[in-house]
A and B are shown apart, each in its own frame.
Chain A
């Protein structure tokens, strides 16, 4: 399912056709054409995904896993077919290992809570990295506090890369789990998670990967990675908001107790005793986000139709183009210069405040993210208030980058 036959050149005319699938990109913002370069915060949605949501409500809306009536059957079939689509997308060994969640944050909280409840004890340690998004810090902090465990942090270097050489000294008999991002949201660093997983597994320590920033850009194979948990969100990869995925190895999902209780997740309920449903349903209490799941499946199909290899090449081409233009601006300073990077360009201009730049770019129709990007520890490490972050998707084009360049120069002129 992952191998597409055609690989498109990164500047082939076909990309314009794909861009046309995103109606929102035709709108104006502040009387200027929209240059949407905030894809790492949330991607836009192609018309096919929007249509899948509308179709669901117009043609098959009914609760899943419940009724014998036709609509319920239709929606259940589509829902479970979507689970298969996700399974193939990340190459999980079974659809039982795919749990639908509200998003990455929800998935990490699920693991932190369920894993923490039985597997973390006083004096134990949880290892994260200094690159993590707040959502891969705070849930672990909370469970560590509850359990009297300690949060350890793998540091980063000036390039914004993990100090892998320090990993052996941070993993020990007390380490219960390692939780690391696949790709840094604020800097775009692609972390060597394969190596980290191997090193942790040598000591039988499970590893959770926060894949929120990876799935839109990289081909992910959870079996090849051998990670124990992999979390990601739909909304950063063309799917609706409010839907995400927790992949968990069969053995772990079976072992852990549920995060939330309610309907759907039970086998039998009595006032004395309740038995839980099988995985993945054990972790999906309540009526799920059905249209979100269907939208996610459609988004995956859409990406696979284009081809993940083509998408990656296109995005890195745009990133490189943007980098070359912006690097020519006096005072440009890239934050995060890792060798392996996703199409995320985090930067500063001299001592200008990111907020000021962000306001003036917005006035010119350019949408970027400014601030600490929910990674305050990263900003503290670089001793900066935040950065300006332009992040690229395959549907961006050369004009978006020219517009960013021109708008940025205008902003700098106004502020200097």
Chain B
């Protein structure tokens, strides 16, 4: 049995508590962005694209053994870092867990501004799409 969604969120919050200033925090996000596996360019299709005004996000999802797995990418590295965090939280859980999860970690690590509609980096729509996919596969 893997960790539940909230355990992962708490783990991330703890991780971010170590950073003393914004530079360290963003360095960590950029690192995560770099480590996120690059997705096959062929997967970057129009239907997987979330076109933010500032950066673009591609999101793909599939169901395996009753669990949802997400892969995603972005053209901006900070957005990729954020994408990587969201995948870490949601990927590998059941549609029911994802659909009912409350995403509190972003606020707690002080990155809420990245999810504001005005930032328009595509992340807000990405979360919505992650949830929608889960809801569509509820058993």
Task: Name A's B-contacting residues (CB within 8 A).
Answer: 30, 352-356, 358-360, 363, 370-372, 385-386, 410, 414-415
Would you list the 5 A-B pairs with minimal beta carbon distance, nearest first? A353-B76, A355-B76, A355-B55, A355-B54, A356-B78
Q: State the interface size on chain B (CB cutoff 8 A).
A: 16
CA distance A396 to B114 in the complex (A): 28
- Given A356-B76, A363-B22, do A371 and B27 touch, yes or no (CB 8 Å)? no
Whether B61 sits at the interface, judged by CB under 8 Å, is no
* A329 CA / B121 CA spacing, docked (Å): 26
Task: Evaluate whether A414 and B30 lie within 8 angstroms (CB atoms) in the complex, with A355-B55, A363-B22 already known.
Answer: yes
Against A, the Cβ 8 Å flags (1 = close, 0 = not) of B8-36 are 00000000000000110011001000000
Closest to B122 in A: A355
| B77 pairs with A356, CB closer than 8 A | yes
With A30-B22, A356-B30, A414-B27 already in contact, 16 other A-B pairs whose C-beta atoms are closer than 8 Å:
A353-B55, A353-B76, A353-B77, A355-B54, A355-B55, A359-B26, A360-B78, A363-B22, A363-B26, A370-B54, A371-B53, A371-B54, A385-B75, A386-B54, A410-B23, A414-B30
Interface of B: prevailing SS: helix
From A30, A352, A356, A360, name the one whose CB has the most chain B CB atoms within 10 angstroms: A356
B79, CB-defined interface residue at 8 Å: yes
B75–chain A nearest beta-carbon distance, Å: 6
Minimum C-beta distance from A363 to chain B (A): 5
Q: Which of A352, A360, A372 is within 8 Å of B26, CB to CB?
A: A360
Q: Is the CB of B75 within 8 A of A414?
A: no
Most buried by B among A30, A386, A414: A414
A-B residue pairs in contact (CB < 8 Å), sample of 8 = A352-B77, A356-B77, A356-B78, A359-B78, A385-B56, A385-B75, A386-B54, A414-B23
Residues of B within 8 A of A415 (CB): 30, 77
In whole angstroms, how far apart are the Cα atoms of A236 and B121 in the complex? 25
Report chain B residues within 8 Å CB of A359: 26, 78, 114
